[in-house]
A = this chain, B = another copy of it.
Amino acid sequence: MNGRFSIAIHIMTLLTKAEGELLSSELIASSINANAALVRKELSNLRNNGLIISKEGAAGGYALGKDAAQIRLSDIYQAVKRQSILGQAKNLPNPACPVGRQINQHLDTLYKEVEDSLTEKLVTKTLAEFTGQFD
């Protein structure tokens, strides 16, 4: 997990505050202070996950796909995550070692459990609650 979750939450917060008015990727990128093409890539991903809608062409832009009260932070996390939260060693351990041979299987199980508890936490929080904290 990298800065993508932060960026996604930032995007979703902006769209919530826009209340249905379309925002351009350029405007969003300038709030985040990140590259517009990169932001569009994340916007595409969020759209593919049903969290936002987009409209092409002049006067196009982005808006929430459903009410902020119906979006849970776990939905955003699921859209953005790519690999196990605790990271994965990329060396395959030594299969001649009893520990090396079995470690990945047990780590996988552990990581799944941990990730489940993280998701449970994020399920309890809606985007509306999060954005409601802003002045």
Mark A residues whose CB is within 8 Å of B.
1-7, 9-10, 13-14, 17, 30-34, 73, 77, 85-94, 97-100, 102-103, 106-107, 110, 113-114, 117-118, 120-122, 125, 130, 133-135
Other A-B pairs beyond A33-B91, A106-B133, 13, CB < 8 Å: A1-B85, A3-B88, A3-B90, A6-B86, A7-B89, A10-B89, A17-B99, A30-B97, A32-B93, A32-B94, A32-B100, A102-B133, A114-B121
Residues of chain B within 8 A of A125, CB atoms compared: 110
Residues of chain B within 8 A of A32, CB atoms compared: 89, 91, 93-94, 100
Residues of chain B within 8 A of A33, CB atoms compared: 91-94, 100
Question: Which residue of chain B has its CB nearest to the CB of A5?
Answer: B86
| Known pairs A91-B33, A106-B130; A99 contacts B10 (CB<8 A) | yes
- Taken together, the copies of this chain in the complex come to 2
Residues of chain B within 8 A of A85, CB atoms compared: 1, 85, 118
**Does the CB pair A1–B1 fall under 8 Å?**
yes
| Known pairs A90-B3, A121-B113, A122-B114; A31 contacts B99 (CB<8 A) | yes
Closest Cβ–Cβ distance, residue A29 to chain B (whole Å): 10
Closest Cβ–Cβ distance, residue A61 to chain B (whole Å): 16
Residues of chain B within 8 A of A90, CB atoms compared: 3
